[in-house]
Amino acid sequence: MMPLLLQQIANGLVIGSTYAVVALGFSLAFTVLRVINFAHPDIFMVGMFAGLVLAVPGPWGFVVALGAGALGAAAVGYALERTVISPLRGRDVLMTLIGTLGVAIMLENGMALIAGPDPVSYPNLLPREFVDIGPVTLTLRQVVNFAICLALLVLVSLYVRATKFGRATRAIAERPDVAAAFGVDVGRVCQATILIASAMAGVAAVSVGAMYGSAHAFVGLLYGLKAFTCMLVAGNRYFEGVMVVALGLGIIEALVTGYLSSSLRDAVAFFVLIGVLLFRPNGLFGSYAT
Amino acid sequence: MTPLLSVSDLAVSYGAVPAVAGVSLEIFPGEVRVILGANGAGKTTIIKTVLGLLRPRRGTVRYGGEHDLLRLKPHQIRRLGVAWVPEGRQLWNTLSVIDNLRMGGFAERDAKAVDRRVDEMFERFPRLRERRDQVAGSLSGGEQQMVAIARALIAAPKLLLMDEPSLGLAPIIVRDVFRLVRDINAMGISILMVEQNARQALRVASWAYLLEVGAIVDSGPVSEIASHSRIQAIFLGGEA
Amino acid sequence: MPSFAYFEPILIFTLLNVTMAMGLYITALSGQLSMATAAIAGVGAYLSAILTAKWGWPFLPAIVCAAAIGAVVGTLLALVTLRMRDFILKLTTLAFGEALSVLAFNWEYIGGANSFTGITLYTTLPQCVLAALLALYVAWRFDGSRLGFAARAVRDDPLAAGAMGVPLMRVRVITFALGSALVGIGGALQAHYLLVISPNELGFFVSLNFVIFLLFGGLQTLWGPVLGAALLTALPELLRFTSQYRLILYGLIIVLVVLVRPEGVLTRKPTGQARRLFGRILVPERPVGALAERPTDRPLPLGLVQRSAER
């Protein structure tokens, strides 16, 4: 019994760390800009394909692909910020959701037009090896993916806690007007926030693509709804809250898959969400007033 | 002498609801001026417009004779030396005290200078040094007001906009706050204050404006205006 | 020239979406912009399909039952979300829809993941015209009724409306139940035309389509949602592009409307003077505060402010 439990927890942490990166990007946009960026999961998708296109064989292939994913995603994020998000900032949250959803539809179907609507196989950027960690066996690709996602989360956490710009980011999240009046160029910080969220999603996307060995124009849907749910369950007061919830969701999903049935897996997130909304409508870790 | 700040014929609305209609006022370097008015008279609206957070329907806001503040964004206005003590403090409750103070100096490029001024503030408010790593939301009302004022001073302002600095504070602390206002002014900083506590405000200010439903109905040097019947009736409870 | 047989399905889907959009319009009138429209339609669809396909009922009573269960679900949602803040209300309805979708996915009796099949074709074009007319009539009567005004009062300020004696709970329950009944009818008619119900059709993204219909057309008048539902259903079909191009265009239209006409295409504002109309199209209402691109309390031409600021 124990080995299965530990194995599933390990699997859950791997997938949960990916949810966490996407969810953190959602949360950054929502907390700092008050914008629900439904195009974010598709920026993740664009990063995945950018990494696929520029992937070269050889030892540095993976690193090059990660860089390409970050750049591709950041480029789309930048364009999105300039054309849609910036004009929508300060509007009703639902309008931002609909507007960015329009962009998401364009990105998904645009990519389906280029790459085809079916999954495309990803180049072998990492060797197929297994790694034993105590009683748990993971593939090397899983371990690498977990390490990359964890590193991204720690970097963002350091950024918002220990840098001047990061401090301004949190200041805008709580009181945009006061931050502006004390010299923060709100527009620029918002832009930087979207760029960081996008680049981060791009890096994670390449590592996920390498892990599963495929890329798909509609991959964003799955990650999008789950990441969105994680953000709501956590509340937006602490960025770290989203990370914890996403990792937890990954573990719960893995346990449901292991002990109950895999068809129930995708339902878990929504049952958690309903429960939390009923009893803690501001999320487990609290939210800023909107 | 050119006024440090001159507002003329300012009109601001929220949607279709007018908040301020045709307000003119000015403040000269080194002065303390106060805008008296009840809740909803439009005091905060004037302050926020000067800060660039609201856009007026008409009017002009000039600073130091040469800058048209209506053309600038809030962070650019801050760089000209305008700082703000907002109504109800409005600290960043999830940031530590020291981070709140550092944010006050955000516009300053020289990080060392900011650290130095933060230290100065800790000298002036030893209570805040004790609480430097606590989140601001956990402080008492009086301590929060100290942080709000210190945060504005770290910006080394020429003009300080104070929005109801005495709101919600115990009487003893209110006295401290007004003593502090005098000290700040003695440092050469001009202060435009908005207050409901007319008795205290008229003691530190040299000139007062009376705002009613978005318009200035009376103004003049404090020595004269304090005796006007309207101010007597509304704010000073009839006693001289 | 394509034949009528080509247009008939487009016409039917358009009429059904108008019917359901009217349902959501009534629900949203009291401030409950539900994100569970597709789920409620799905409940109506599944129930009517069970009644006709499994229990051998005739079509009409099955439709009536679909309306009834829509009303029941609507009442339930209204009661659960009664005291919730706007944003949380939307999220709760969203989560409810997703949960129903998952339930349908795992319930073998109604086909589970393999979809509900074996439904008989009953729905005809005249029936859909009738349903759409009924929905329009109901919405139109409701719009002008005392209850309609009470609903708007609740939407604009629930506290103030309550203080003025508007029965908050009754208004919200009635609008949600009435709207959901219409949605249930639409869902049932659709099921007996498509002949298959898939659990995916209950999910968030399908529900969001109805919200988009409303916001696209504008919520200020009854005709906004009608226009939104009709245009956004029929237009992509009539354009006859490949499905990817069609969806890209759909996304683009949504983005443009949200950016350029934030209150929807149809608004109540006077449009007499051409200049004023032109101005309104180019100049959306902008909010106040640092989060807006440039804080403002009145519409300003896009871009003008920034340029002047940098000078």
Task: For residue C304, name the pLDDT band (cuts at 50, 70, 90).
Answer: very low
Q: How confident is the model at residue C284, as a pLDDT?
A: 35
In chain A, the percentage of residues whose pLDDT exceeds 70 is 99
Q: End-to-end alpha-carbon separation of chain C, Å?
A: 57
A interface mutation test: which of B98, B103, B108, B147 has the most A CBs within 10 A? B103
Q: Do A171 and B52 touch (CB under 8 A)?
A: no
Question: pLDDT higher for B69 or A57?
Answer: B69
Averaged pLDDT for residues A52-65: 86
Residue C264, pLDDT above cutoff 90: no
Token reading at B137? 């939301």
Q: Do C295 and B15 touch (CB under 8 A)?
A: no
Q: In whole numbers, what is the pLDDT of chain B averaged over residues? A: 91
Averaged pLDDT for residues B111-130: 94
Which residue is associated with the tokens 């606590």? B134
Q: Do C297 and B12 touch (CB under 8 A)?
A: yes
* Nearest chain C residue (CA) to A116: C244
Token reading at C121? 């074709």
Where helices occur in C81-123 by DSSP H, the ranges are 86-105
Q: How confident is the model at residue C1, as a pLDDT?
A: 53
- Which one-letter amino acid corresponds to residue A17? S
Chain C hits for A103, Cβ within 8 Å: 251, 255
Q: Do A182 and B94 touch (CB under 8 A)?
A: no
Q: How close does chain A come to B226, measured CA to CA in Å?
A: 33
In chain C, the percentage of residues whose pLDDT exceeds 70 is 85
Question: pLDDT higher for B100 or B233?
Answer: B100
Q: Do A34 and C248 touch (CB under 8 A)?
A: no
pLDDT in tens, B190-225: 999 999 888 889 999 999 999 988 899 889 998 888
Chain A hits for C33, Cβ within 8 Å: 94
Whether ipTM exceeds 0.90: yes
Averaged pLDDT for residues C164-183: 93
Chain C: residues touching B (Cβ < 8 Å): 288-290, 294-298, 300, 305, 308-309, 311
Chain B hits for C295, Cβ within 8 Å: 52-55, 74
* Nearest chain B residue (CA) to C311: B71
Indicate the pairing of strand B58-63 with strand B67-68. antiparallel
Residue A45, pLDDT above cutoff 70: yes
Question: pLDDT higher for B14 or B100?
Answer: B100
pLDDT in tens, A238-260: 889 999 999 999 999 999 988 88
pLDDT in tens, C2-53: 677 778 889 999 999 999 999 999 999 998 899 999 999 999 999 999 999 9
pLDDT in tens, C209-257: 899 999 888 888 889 999 999 988 888 777 766 677 878 888 898 899 8
Task: For residue C134, name the pLDDT band (cuts at 50, 70, 90).
Answer: very high
Task: For residue C291, name the pLDDT band (cuts at 50, 70, 90).
Answer: low
Q: In whole numbers, what is the pLDDT of chain C averaged over residues? A: 82
Q: Is C218 helix (H, G, I), strand (E, B) or coil?
A: coil
- Nearest by CB to residue A175, choosing from B48, B79, B92, is B92
Measured at the CA of B7, the angle between CA B5 and CA B9, to 5 degrees, comes to 170
Residue C285, pLDDT above cutoff 50: no
Chain C hits for A278, Cβ within 8 Å: 80, 92
Q: How confident is the model at residue C272, as a pLDDT?
A: 42
Distance set, CA A156 to CA A27, A201, B160, C309 (Å): 12, 12, 35, 32
Cα gap B141→B169, rounded to integer Å: 6
Q: Do A225 and C254 touch (CB under 8 A)?
A: no
Chain A hits for C243, Cβ within 8 Å: 109
Q: How close does chain B come to A173, measured CA to CA in Å?
A: 9
Q: How close does chain A come to C270, measured CA to CA in Å?
A: 23
Residue C293, pLDDT above cutoff 50: no
Q: Could you tell me which chains touch chain A, where touching means 3 or more CB pairs under 8 A?
A: B, C
pLDDT in tens, C139-158: 999 988 999 999 998 888 88
- Which one-letter amino acid corresponds to residue B121? M
Q: Exposed/middle/buried for A260, CB within 10 Å: 0-12, 13-18, 19+?
A: exposed
Nearest to B139 by CA among B94, B174, B195, B87: B94
Q: How confident is the model at residue C12, as a pLDDT?
A: 94
Chain A hits for B55, Cβ within 8 Å: none
Q: B203 Cβ partners below 8 Å, 6+ apart?
A: B178
By mean pLDDT, which of A143-152, B7-16, C57-66, C295-304 is the weakest? C295-304
Q: Is C302 an interface residue toward A (CB < 8 Å)?
A: yes
Q: Is B15 helix (H, G, I), strand (E, B) or coil?
A: coil
State pTM to two decimals: 0.85
Q: In whole numbers, what is the pLDDT of chain A averaged over residues? A: 91
Q: Do B74 and C290 touch (CB under 8 A)?
A: yes
* Nearest chain A residue (CA) to C88: A281
Question: pLDDT higher for C298 or C90?
Answer: C90
Cβ proximity of B73 and B80 under 8 Å: no
Q: How confident is the model at residue C103, as a pLDDT?
A: 85
Beta bridge partners of B84: B161
Beta bridge partners of B215: B212
Question: pLDDT higher for C219 or C72?
Answer: C72
Q: How confident is the model at residue A156, as a pLDDT?
A: 95
Q: How confident is the model at residue C307, as a pLDDT?
A: 24
* Nearest chain C residue (CA) to B17: C297
* B39-45 LR contacts (CB < 8 Å, sep 24+): B39/B196, B40/B213, B41/B211, B41/B212, B41/B213, B41/B214, B42/B12, B42/B211, B42/B213, B42/B214, B43/B163, B43/B164, B43/B194, B43/B211, B44/B87, B44/B163, B44/B194, B45/B12, B45/B19, B45/B20, B45/B214
Q: Is C260 an interface residue toward A (CB < 8 Å)?
A: no
Residue B109, pLDDT above cutoff 80: yes
Q: How confident is the model at residue C269, as a pLDDT?
A: 56
Q: How confident is the model at residue A222, as a pLDDT?
A: 83
- Which one-letter amino acid corresponds to residue A78? Y
pLDDT in tens, B156-166: 999 999 999 99
Token reading at A237? 């007061």
* Nearest chain C residue (CA) to A86: C293
